[in-house]
Structure 1
Amino acid sequence: MNTVTSTETNSQPYQLEITCPLGMENVLEQELHALGLVDTRLGEAQVKLNTDLEGAYKVCLWSRVGNRVMLPLAQFTMTSADELYDGVKSIDWRLHLNESATIAIDFHGTNESIRNTQFGAVRAKDAIVDYFVERTGDRPSVEKTQPDVRIAVRLKRDVMTVSLDLSGDSLHRRGYRQSGSFAPLKENLAAGLLLRAGWGTEDTFKQLVDPMCGSGTFLVEAAMISLNMAPGLRRSYWGFKGWQQHDHRMWQRLNDEAKNSKKSFDEVGITFTGTDIEQRAIAASRENIKRAGLTGYIDVNMSPFQDHNFNLSDIPGLVITNPPYGERLGEEMALMSLYRQLGEWVVNNCNGWRFFMLTSMENLAKQIPIRPDKNTRVINGGIECRAYRFPVEDKFIKHDVVSSAILSSGSQMFANRLAKNAKKMQKWAKKAKISCYRVYDADMPEYAVAIDIYGDWAHVQEYQAPKSIDPAKAQQRLYDVIAAVPSALGIPESQVVLKYRQRQSGKGQYEKLDTSKHEMTVSEYDCDFIVNLKDYLDTGLFLDHRPVRKLIQQKANGKRFLNLFCYTATASVHAGQGGARSTLSVDMSNTYTEWSRRNIELNEFSERDHKVVRADCFEWLRTNEEKFDLIFMDPPTFSNSKKMAEVLDIQRDHVDLVNLAMDRLAEGGELIFSNNYRRFQLSEEIENRYEVENITKESIDLDFERNTKIHQCWIIRHGEEKQSRISNMDLFSSDF
């Protein structure tokens, strides 16, 4: 292949487009100006540069922030595949490659004519191949990994841009980071954030600390900036190596100059220190440091930053870090303490320094007790984030919130109410031998959450705010709650789970929120249950039905028990514990029927006498002919699951449902019917046809007295039967 090899006189002007991470455009432009490349124009996620060949090489070799260096060859309008083909073929390709070259086409974008990028790439390739076949009888071949020339085709609406990718691969790939590294922070974004923080542009910094260093990207990039190490020196592949206008001698000279410009650590006099609590993170960072040739210059340790001796000096330095974000509210809850500790550690140890932090969660950033003077929107790993710059100076420090023990006025007000509730409920629960109970249920309307205790864990559910409530205010109140719960209940933040609750229907009721498999076993009236506080919207135990389960346990001795819409079969376990001859639990959810079997097995009941069936309860009732002495039915308010033959609306359908259940009820038997639809009205048809006893009031325990509409409950018997029975009031109040 013929390339320029000797003259170094190529001063042909090139109009380059240098792409970069969104939000780093100004940083990239400043970097180019520092290289003497000043003819620039800002664009979105790119900087346009007019320069010569040497300038193009300098960008490839020295840009720490850029993604790719693109040389546009042609731009044209296209509304059909034929116009795409003709436009690409019209380019004078002999100026850029010959027939023996290997090529790759990167095609991005679609429109009405080109709806598939692979098809677009094939048409562009065909155009280039046909261009050479018609002139030489030979053709370039396709090589996807490291071709001689990489060609980028960008389609935006009906405008096509064809460019040479001189970088050949993204410039963030410096060659030092292990492939498959778990760190999502790319090298060029890390470098851009360092430059944005002032690293390398302000001579006052003599220390750099990353207290949650991950795979060490900030540390390595900072050291490379300080040592004036060209980020492109370690790369073995470039997109211009097979380009007809490539000047090998010029490129080699620039590489030699870059190698000779590297400084020594003695010259810069800067220390680089990082910590992380993950062993695999420290192992990855040490390997990356080694591959970058920086072993012995960067110190990383597996240690919580709170406990590590960083040997910080009074000479100003930079603390920069990319802490975990937490993409779920439950994760946010656990992270609030971490962010507060980080902020307090910076305030207490880094006076006069600068603190720079990247996070996707604004409310986590607010846990830092310092006011930022700047913040920048960036995209990290597909997540919209902000990079905050905090001057660690007295006028920026929020002295009133430096201690995590100090709550805002809203948090303190909520905490006082919660602590008062907890004191009352703990005494009651201890006496009743209950380990799972509700301690708060929107007592203060502006703090619309429900808080349940499961042993030494707290389960917090935020109710969906009305549309009239300002979302920003609702979110701030939620964070007041988050801040108050651990101190008011004496529960570590790591043992508080937060969920956002809204109406669920169909399969949404059963879909996972998480995959942590956070299961624990709890006890209730000598029954054991598996609960899961994180993975699903509900935990596996409806606390408001505790008195009803107790009633079932007292009534079940010697009886055949049917549990319809059984959920996790907790009522069946109570029936078994009460001496039921048999239990049958029916639900249409695979998740819940499997959970039911595990609950039954946990309590050591035999599968022979305590069965679980997966079925649509309506269909099962229509086709089954068994009789039962005691039936419990707690259907959902609404369900449109695909597993059901019909949509269930409890107000509309409860007459048919109750009649079907009563057909299965043996002589002298009882149906306990419940639902949680607040506006539910029991049909007069049911009241006229059967003997109906409303036990709603008796079925509400102390922890739900503020929310008496949480469910309604009736005992229904065949009307002609006037059997003697124990008063249900007595059963509710009796002790085990």
Structure 2
Amino acid sequence: MNTPVETVDTVGQMYHLEITCPLGLENVLEQELHSEGLMDTRLGEAQVKLTTDLEGMYKACLWSRVATRVMLPVANFKMESADDLYEGVKAIVWSDHMTAANTIAIDCHGTNHHIRNTQFGSVRAKDAIADYFVALSGERPNVEKVQPDVRISIRIKRDIVTVSIDLSGDSMHRRGYRQQGSMAPLKENLAAGLLLRAGWNRDCGLTQLIDPMCGSGTFLVEAAMMSLDMAPGLRRGYWGFKGWKQHDHRLWQQLMDFAKNRKKDPAELGIRFQGTDREQRAIAASRENIKRAGLVGVIDVSMASFQQHDFVIDQEKPGLVICNPPYGERLGDEMALIALYRQLGEWVVTHVRGWQFMMLTSNEHLARQIPVRPEKSTRVINGGLECRAYRFPLLDGHIKEDAVAQSIMTPGAQMFANRLQKNAKKLKKWVEKNNIECYRVYDADMPEYAVAIDVYQDWAHVQEYKAPKSVDPEKAKQRLFEVVSSIPTALNIAEANVIVKHRQKQTGKAQYEKLDQSNHEIIVKEYGCEFIVNLKDYLDTGLFLDHRPVRKLIQDRANGKRFLNLFCYTASASVHAGEGGARSSLSVDMSNTYTEWARRNIELNEFSERDHKVERADCIEWLRHSTDEFDLIFMDPPTFSNSKKMSEILDIQRDHGELLRLSMARLSKDGELIFSNNYRRFVLDKDIEEEFSVQNITKLSMDPDFERNTKIHQCWILRHRSEG
């Protein structure tokens, strides 16, 4: 409860207020104040200055939907030392605003050479106020950080200090209907400001509002409160002015009663509010917020994607679609969102033509996926991110009729699409003849578009190579957008089936760490074998496409053989050996993730666990202790590994001699060892060529889809030299 205070006569007194708001919404706030009869205003940065009486101040607090705080500056002075801050605050006539019986809190914003941290500034100001009252009455006010009677703001900008009383007491975006900790990051006053910017207000004449990605329902609740003329401050129990000495309780209560009577009857509203979201948690939060705002029966929300939901739309009446779609925190996320934004743009053009559409996003590349020319955009800050609210009139002349297809592409994207189509056409006969479902269609053919694109059935797997430091990050980002936006048209693949990853060197434990938790798996076929492929969760998919000819070679040579697969990964080579009639196979890898994946691949192809085994072990240590003999061995070790699971660091250039000798010791007299690695500067030890019969089959191990990247791996067949 607020401490009782004496009041002072405020009849005829005028106050010079600073009303803060989200950056970019200053004009909206000013227009809102004018609509309440508060006309003496001046625009500032993220604020509107208002000169008004006590009633006007209360109206600003009660009725402003856009304001963040209502501040009353009480002093402005120059500070050349920390003592100046103390003396300047102490010189204020605090007895005009509070008594020593009041509790206080002090918020300090900004620092300079004299006040190097805000906590020190708060303490110096608190000491000054306490000493003022001790000198006046022998008593001092107590500090209460949560809901003090009087909240004081100290703003330091270079050498100027502004001291204000925070009449709002707490941020005014907190209306009281949304639970703290709600999932939606969009603040209520920002949502209200964007609605007003979009043309929604109590007398706008619009009769329909849809939020197709409503989250916790903030846009819907704010729009309904506007239409019903519900004062946004009506539910707030705490105000900073209630402990202020000049507060007029009777006048405030009169304005509160008037606001309650001003609310319209929902039954007579004639406006439809609809929202959807795919997340159950979001819909649960929105329904709870709607209930707390007293808007049950006014707003309808459903758990569904907007693409599938059957909205009730009256084409004869005007309406507004407004939403805050995801922006994508990581580059791969942004790429995946291209499909969502395109679908959103296609949906509004198809279903609500003639309406207004407003969208908030921090990503201009994603905004370009909307096939409508924006009328204007507003720069705002949301959750610390610089965003833009785009307003799209869904009218002829603004809609790009063919934008969902090629016309949405930039010239760079069109050029890249042409290259993709050319590559796909070149590979088409080979792909169809060999029934190949997974192949590489592009691999940095044009240096400025440094990506690899692999097709997995009707999916596109895009890996961006790490750009040199000389490349402008924004330019690289733009090119990646051009790549992704061109794929659906060029390869006839759905936007949602384009997956993007950033390719960089992986060693040690990082090779096995998950990128995602989607468990997105598909089953693909290759020369009669089936494999589980995961396109999203790991950097690699579970199938190295460049080794396709090597796997076919193993399949052709495996009949009746005992097969050993070292560094087996997901055991795709072992599956091919089994398909080729191998008597047995043993697959060795040190990763839990991949040995389990290997077992699932072997099980998928219905090979018996008794004859086709998987063992988790350090391959080098396993070779040192094994006494088993094999007729066919495949080994594709990593270039480098420092995994803690290994007894020592593996460097393939340095260690391949020992590794090959250990493996050849396990190879039968007439057996073959197929050795491959992807270290581009790898040179085979000459001593190995003297000890064993060595055949370089690198050229033979390349299919047409890797003709442009002949250094993706090197491959040899090793055999024991015949006696004599």
User: TM-score category by the smaller chain?
Assistant: 0.7 to 0.9
- Aligned to 2:275, the other structure's residue is in SS state strand
- Aligned to 2:58, the other structure's residue is in SS state helix
Distance 1:111 1:510 in 2: 48
User: Post-superposition shift, 1:248?
Assistant: 1.4
1:214-234 Cα deviation digits (max 9, x unpaired): 433223322333343321111
**Correspondence 1:459-470 to 2 at 5 A:** 459-464=461-466
**Correspondence 1:581-592 to 2 at 5 A:** 583=586, 585-587=588-590, 592=594
Distance 2:113 2:265 in 1: 56
Partner of 2:274: 274
Distance 1:601 1:114 in 2: 69
User: Post-superposition shift, 1:396?
Assistant: 2.2
Q: 1:704 aligns with which of 693, 703, 706?
A: 706
Partner of 1:656: 655
2:195 partner letter: L
User: Post-superposition shift, 1:115?
Assistant: 7.3
Partner of 1:368: 370
Partner of 2:390: 388
Greater Cα shift, 417-426 or 367-376: 417-426
Q: CA RMSD in A?
A: 4.5
1:41/1:621 CA distance change after superposition, 3 Å: farther
User: Post-superposition shift, 1:325?
Assistant: 3.3
Partner of 2:345: 343
- Contact 2:372/2:398 (8 A) holds in 1: yes
Distance 2:244 2:617 in 1: 66
1:108/1:416 CA distance change after superposition, 3 Å: same
Distance 1:648 1:132 in 2: 73
Q: 1:563 aligns with which of 557, 563, 566?
A: 566
- Contact 1:563/1:571 (8 A) holds in 2: no
1:2/1:181 CA distance change after superposition, 3 Å: closer
- Contact 1:452/1:459 (8 A) holds in 2: yes
User: Post-superposition shift, 1:360?
Assistant: 2.4
Distance 1:178 1:76 in 2: 41
**Correspondence 1:421-570 to 2 at 5 A:** 422=424, 428=430, 432=434, 434-442=436-444, 448-464=450-466, 478-504=480-506, 509-524=511-526, 529-552=531-554, 554=557, 559=562, 561=564, 563-564=566-567, 566-570=568-572
User: Post-superposition shift, 1:696?
Assistant: 0.5
Partner of 2:222: 221
2:327 equivalent to 1:325: yes
Partner of 2:235: 234
Partner of 1:665: 664
- Contact 1:199/1:205 (8 A) holds in 2: yes
Distance 1:580 1:152 in 2: 81
- Contact 2:657/2:685 (8 A) holds in 1: no
- Aligned to 1:11, the other structure's residue is in SS state coil
- Contact 2:7/2:246 (8 A) holds in 1: no
Distance 1:534 1:215 in 2: 28
User: Post-superposition shift, 1:372?
Assistant: 1.1
1:38/1:508 CA distance change after superposition, 3 Å: farther
- Aligned to 2:243, the other structure's residue is in SS state coil
- Aligned to 1:389, the other structure's residue is in SS state strand
- Contact 1:275/1:303 (8 A) holds in 2: no
- Aligned to 1:384, the other structure's residue is in SS state strand
User: Post-superposition shift, 1:243?
Assistant: 2.2
Distance 1:426 1:284 in 2: 50
User: Post-superposition shift, 1:171?
Assistant: 0.8
Partner of 1:256: 257
1:72/1:513 CA distance change after superposition, 3 Å: farther
Greater Cα shift, 555-564 or 533-542: 555-564
User: Post-superposition shift, 1:459?
Assistant: 1.6
Partner of 2:185: 184
2:40 equivalent to 1:56: no
1:651-683 Cα deviation digits (max 9, x unpaired): xxx143323442453064655432323344445
1:183-239 Cα deviation digits (max 9, x unpaired): 322211111111212223984545434344343322332233334332111111112
1:69/1:574 CA distance change after superposition, 3 Å: farther
Greater Cα shift, 169-178 or 456-465: 456-465
- Contact 1:72/1:162 (8 A) holds in 2: yes
1:251 partner letter: W
User: Post-superposition shift, 1:698?
Assistant: 1.7
Q: Percent identity?
A: 65
Unmatched tracts of structure 2, length 5 or more: none
Greater Cα shift, 35-44 or 18-27: 35-44
1:10/1:515 CA distance change after superposition, 3 Å: farther
Distance 2:286 2:560 in 1: 64
1:577-618 Cα deviation digits (max 9, x unpaired): 76476636344x675566556656767775998454465x78
- Contact 2:22/2:380 (8 A) holds in 1: yes
1:381 partner letter: G
Partner of 1:45: 46
1:516/1:98 CA distance change after superposition, 3 Å: farther
Partner of 1:732: none
Distance 1:581 1:338 in 2: 48
1:83/1:700 CA distance change after superposition, 3 Å: farther
Partner of 2:148: 147
Distance 1:153 1:600 in 2: 69
Distance 1:681 1:160 in 2: 69
1:128/1:559 CA distance change after superposition, 3 Å: farther
1:471/1:85 CA distance change after superposition, 3 Å: closer
Partner of 1:713: 715
1:108-148 Cα deviation digits (max 9, x unpaired): 56678877766766676566566656766655444443332
- Aligned to 2:536, the other structure's residue is in SS state coil
Partner of 2:67: 66
Distance 1:42 1:99 in 2: 36
- Contact 1:218/1:320 (8 A) holds in 2: yes
Greater Cα shift, 394-403 or 548-557: 548-557
Distance 2:90 2:583 in 1: 83
User: Post-superposition shift, 1:170?
Assistant: 1.5
Partner of 1:193: 194
- Aligned to 1:318, the other structure's residue is in SS state strand
1:230/1:658 CA distance change after superposition, 3 Å: same
- Aligned to 1:707, the other structure's residue is in SS state coil
Partner of 2:22: 21
Distance 2:126 2:100 in 1: 13
- Aligned to 1:706, the other structure's residue is in SS state coil
Partner of 1:379: 381
- Aligned to 1:213, the other structure's residue is in SS state coil
- Contact 1:638/1:649 (8 A) holds in 2: yes
Distance 1:521 1:121 in 2: 63
- Contact 2:17/2:70 (8 A) holds in 1: no
User: Post-superposition shift, 1:388?
Assistant: 0.8
Distance 2:512 2:124 in 1: 46
Distance 2:114 2:455 in 1: 59
Greater Cα shift, 6-15 or 183-192: 6-15
1:189 partner letter: L
Distance 2:127 2:603 in 1: 65
How many pairs align?
Answer: 712
1:656 partner letter: D
Distance 2:634 2:160 in 1: 66
1:293/1:597 CA distance change after superposition, 3 Å: same
Greater Cα shift, 571-580 or 429-438: 571-580
Distance 2:466 2:634 in 1: 30
